[in-house]
Amino acid sequence: MSQPGKEQRTTHFGFREVPESAKDDLVAGVFHSVANKYDLMSLGIHRLWKQFTVEASGVRGGFRVLDVAGGTGDLAAKFAVRAGRRGQVVLADINESMLGVGRARLVDRGIVGNVAFVRANAENLPFPENHFDRVSIAFGLRNVTHIDRALASMFRVLKPGGALLVLEFSRPAVPGLNNLYDAYSFNVLPWLGRVIAQDEGSYRYLAESIRKHPDQETLKTMMEQAGFGRVEYHNLSGGIVALHKGYKF
């Protein structure tokens, strides 16, 4: 209970304002619900975006890689192949349901031995300082309560010379694409959620959370403020998604 005379700090949960203390549980409820059908959101195009991320990562044999909010296991699986037996990939996610999906998928594909699974909050990663060669977070940053704290936490666990890759929905950069994107996000996506996943509300939240996420230039500035250097971004699918990459020096 908040103390008398003190206003409780709030944050956004989609288009709603909620107490900061409630957001983690609300987001957890969404991902418990959509864990097995989360890929529905991009109609499969996410595989191309993630492949671009892996190619841009520069991960090679012997690297230690941390994939934050990586519950579906897509990036972790690709990184594990590149890191090889001498390397290690840690798939971290705050949500146990998503983590379970990722673990099951990797085991089914025979990717074992150099992958570990850790339940962790992106804002307070339980790993040593200067530990990983690469850190990635795909479609997870917009769901954290404090983006600045998450960026600082990922910066801390990176080795000097290491890089962070942030793959996230962003702002369309092609004229006219905004209207089409809005029509899909606020009409088609909730309908798909209702018909296929029996959960319209969670998919509506996912669409709303995209609109509340910082645009390309704002996120670049936030990464620089967290200490990252040589920050750049690449727009994918006309800016519907952007890949940001920055280094720790």
CA gap 16, 205 in Å, rounded: 9
Dihedral over Cα of 232, 235, 236, 240: its sign: positive
DSSP H/E element including 45: none
Paired tokens of 238: 């006309």
pLDDT digit string, tens, across residues 47-86: 899 999 999 999 999 999 999 999 889 999 999 999 999 9
User: How far apart are alpha carbons 33 and 37 in whole angstroms?
Assistant: 9
DSSP 173-231: -STTHHHHHHHIIIIIHHHHHHHHSS-HHHHHHHHHHHHHS--HHHHHHHHHHTT-EEE
How far apart, in whole angstroms, are the C-alpha atoms of residue 141 and residue 35?
17
pTM score: 0.83
Q: What is the pLDDT of residue 29?
A: 61
End-to-end CA distance of the chain: 43
- Residue among 172, 151, 169, 167 nearest 206 (CA): 169
CA dihedral 167, 123, 32, 18 (to 10 degrees): -100
Encoded tokens for 176:
């006219």
Instruction: Report the pLDDT value the prediction gives residue 38, as an integer from 0 to 100.
Output: 53
Instruction: Report phi then psi at 214, rounded to 5.
Output: -55, 145
- Specify the residue for token string 């994107």: 181
8-state DSSP, 15: T
**How many angstroms separate the CA atoms of 157 and 134, rounded?**
9
| Domains defined for the chain, CATH in brackets | 34-173+205-247 (3.40.50.150)
Query: What does pLDDT average to in each consecutive run of 10 residues of the chain (249 residues)?
Result: 61 72 65 53 76 97 97 93 97 90 93 95 97 96 94 98 96 86 74 68 75 92 98 95 97
* Contacts of 115 by beta carbon, 8 Å cutoff, 6+ apart: 76, 80, 88, 89, 90, 91, 106
